[in-house]
Amino acid sequence: MPYHPSPHTPHHDSTELVAGSPLTPHAFAWDRVDDVLLDMDGTLLDRHFDNFFFEEELPRRYAAKHRLKVEEARERLLAMYRVVEGELDWTDLNYWTKTLDIDVVALTKELDHLIALHPDSLDFLRHLRAQRKRIYLLTSAHAAGVEIKVAKTRIDRYVDRIVNAFEVGYLKMRPEFWPTCQRLLEFEPSRSLYIDDDEACLAAAQKFGVKFLYHRSKSSSHQPPQPSSRYESIESFHELLPLP
């Protein structure tokens, strides 16, 4: 779904993270981490696809179907999104196909040329592999959408497992997501790093006890960075990598 800024949440205690200046990489204590939990859309993948899909192209298709002005169609869809925000229906492509009478899965495939990794994602994933970290991709996306994005990016080659919200039964922003996810993956929260572009998801992970949290401020290649005032933000994964 398109990105909606989350309400500000309590600041994570970052006393064990040593941040450099904006011009130098963070000196991250990688020896304190065994498991790396990574969000998909906006964190590893460019959120431009999702923003364009749900805020531009889907409203255009809906407008043509119902003979509406595009702006009117967009307002109607944004209102529909808000009604189910935070629930599984929010990201369920089958739900939107039925609700809008538009094949949303087929449309996702039609526009898959817009799906892309952030340019720094592979460097980061390769570094984690070299450090022998366990890497898990956690996403609130629907399985059909995950399948299309994995086929396009081949990101599955770099992670140990992908867990989507429908496997767990809750979106990542919900506190209920995290205990079930932990049972599935058997990660140790006190030795885990989690990176997401959504503050609500970081807050839920923090509440569960995930120790190291970073906010990804540059979620879309078509928008400026949006740093968090509550969590330490990185614009690029390179800020967490050691100097060459």
pLDDT tens digits along 35-67: 999 999 999 999 999 999 999 999 999 999 999
Domain presence at residue 8: no
Tell whether the model's pLDDT for residue 119 goes beyond 90: yes
With contact defined as beta carbons under 8 Å apart, do 116 and 169 qualify?
Answer: no
- Whether 164 and 146 have beta carbons less than 8 Å apart is answered as yes
pLDDT at residue 124, rounded to an integer: 97
Judgement on whether residues 156 and 213 belong to the same structural domain of the protein: yes
Q: Which amino acid type is present at position 159?
A: V
Buried b / exposed e over 76-115, threshold 16 CB at 10 Å, is bbeebbeebeeebbbbbbebbbeebebebbebbbeeeeeb
Q: Note whether 187 and 100 are same-domain residues.
A: no
**Cβ distance 214 to 195 under 8 Å?**
yes
> Any residues with CB less than 8 A from the CB of 216 and at least 6 apart, and which?
39, 42, 43, 195, 196, 197, 233, 234, 235
Mode of pairing for the β-strands spanning 212-216 and 233-234 = parallel
Enter the pTM of the model. Answer: 0.89
Does residue 17 form part of some domain? Answer: no
| 138 & 79 share domain | no
Task: Give domain status of residue 18, yes or no.
Answer: no
Domain total in the chain: 2
Mean pLDDT in residue range 190-203:
97
Least Cα distance to 211 among 82, 19, 37 occurs for 37
Sheet holding 233-234, edge to edge: 161-164, 134-139, 35-39, 192-196, 212-216, 233-234
From the CB of residue 5, how many other CB atoms can be counted at a distance below 10 Å?
A: 11
Task: Kindly state the DSSP code that residue 217 receives in the 8-state scheme.
Answer: S
Asked whether residue 134 falls in the same domain as residue 213, the answer is: yes
CA 169, 35, 187, 212 torsion-angle sign:
negative
Span 201-221, mean pLDDT?
97
Q: Is the pLDDT of residue 2 over 80?
A: no
Pick from 59, 79, 113: which residue ends a domain?
113
Q: What is the CATH number of the domain that holds 194?
A: 3.40.50.1000
**Statement to judge: residues 123 and 155 lie in one domain:** yes
Residue-wise pLDDT for 130-143, tens only, equals 999 999 999 999 99
Same domain as 214, residue 122:
yes
Residue 3 lies in a domain: no
Specify if 76 maps to a domain.
yes
Same domain, 147 and 188: yes
Same domain as 154, residue 138: yes
Are 212 and 131 part of one and the same domain? yes
- Strand pairing partners for 207? none
Domain boundary among 97, 113, 129: 113
| DSSP secondary structure string for all residues of 162-176 | EEEHHHHTS-TTSTT
Question: Do 37 and 135 fall within a single domain?
Answer: yes
Q: Across the chain, what does the average pLDDT equal?
A: 90
Does the residue 154 lie in any domain?
yes
Structural domain harbouring 60: 49-113
User: Residue 25 falls within a domain, yes or no?
Assistant: no
